[in-house]
Amino acid sequence: MNFQYFDLTGKVAIVTGGATGIGRGLAEGLADAGATIVLCARRMNVLEDACKEIADRTGVPTYPHRLDITSTEEINILVKDVVEKFGHIDILINNAGVGGSEKPILKMTEEDWDTTVATDLRGIFVLTQAVAKQMVAQGKGGKVINVASIGADMIFLNMSAYCASKGGVKQLTKVMALEWVRYNIQVNAIQPGYFETPMNTSFFATEIGQKVIKKNIPMNRLGQLEDMRGLAVYLASPASNFMTGSCIIIDGGQVCW
């Protein structure tokens, strides 16, 4: 195999929600392939630790940048700072998100709804629009990877704002792909199922958590962060140049049930 198709050396990638969990796994994959990483999240201390760990392991430059994805001002600052430092943006991974209030619709407030949608859908629109304008100006195309969820296709009770937002991300991905095909910008989405993260490790270690795994996942295990790395590299690299508007499910077979 000619691995040059997966080589990201010289590429600059922004990864939101990248300090922990799925975002960290995606960032690790791009770093393994040689990309310079700009890791974004709200907590700078966690970001700095993650960047150091990635840089120490891979040897590639990795930089922290604080970002509240719900703030248009912070989004504009991020894009400006990255362009000033590196001169270009080649890859964007939109991973920042929240699970939401986990309330039934009849008990949700407008604030519950707005908070989830602002993070999981609006933030992706605003940031991707800003980055895509830069990619168009560069004239060399680019790669956008949106992290949706199997919740875009399956129903999770008491998570209406989350499911609606992720469904919106899936459709937004397709519209972006079609509108930007003329600029050689490929836009695809990843739809993860249950992955082990620092937030859910303790739950899935319980008897109830183990029952959830056995009931819902044919592979009988949670996804691990390394399961994300190859997919991230594929979607960010020249290997996927003829692929746009696709939404790839990675869930251990859950949606098959």
The enclosing domain of 139 has a CATH number of: 3.40.50.720
Residue 102: the pLDDT is 86
CB of 77 closer than 8 Å to CB of 83: no
Q: Is residue 198 part of a domain?
A: yes
Q: Is residue 255 part of a domain?
A: no
pLDDT average per 10 residues of sequence, the chain (257 residues): 85 96 94 98 95 96 97 98 98 93 93 96 99 99 98 92 97 99 99 88 92 95 93 97 98 92
- As for how many domains the chain has, the answer is 1
Pairing of strands 142-147, 247-250: unpaired
Residues known to be catalytic: 162
Residue 137: the pLDDT is 99
How would you classify residue 143: left for phi > 0, otherwise alpha for psi between -120 and 50, otherwise beta?
A: beta
Residue 2: the pLDDT is 59
Domain span including residue 94: 3-249
Q: Is residue 257 part of a domain?
A: no
Pairing of strands 91-94, 142-147: parallel
Q: Is residue 21 part of a domain?
A: yes
Residue 139: the pLDDT is 98
**What's the Rg (C-alpha) of the chain?**
18
Q: Is residue 177 part of a domain?
A: yes
Q: Is residue 77 part of a domain?
A: yes
Residue 88: the pLDDT is 99
Q: Residues with Cβ < 8 Å from 115, sequence gap 6 or more? A: 98, 100, 101, 161
Q: HEC profile for 95-143?
A: CCCCCCCCCCHHHCCHHHHHHHHHHHHHHHHHHHHHHHHHHHHHCCCEE
Q: Is residue 256 part of a domain?
A: no
Q: Is residue 200 part of a domain?
A: yes
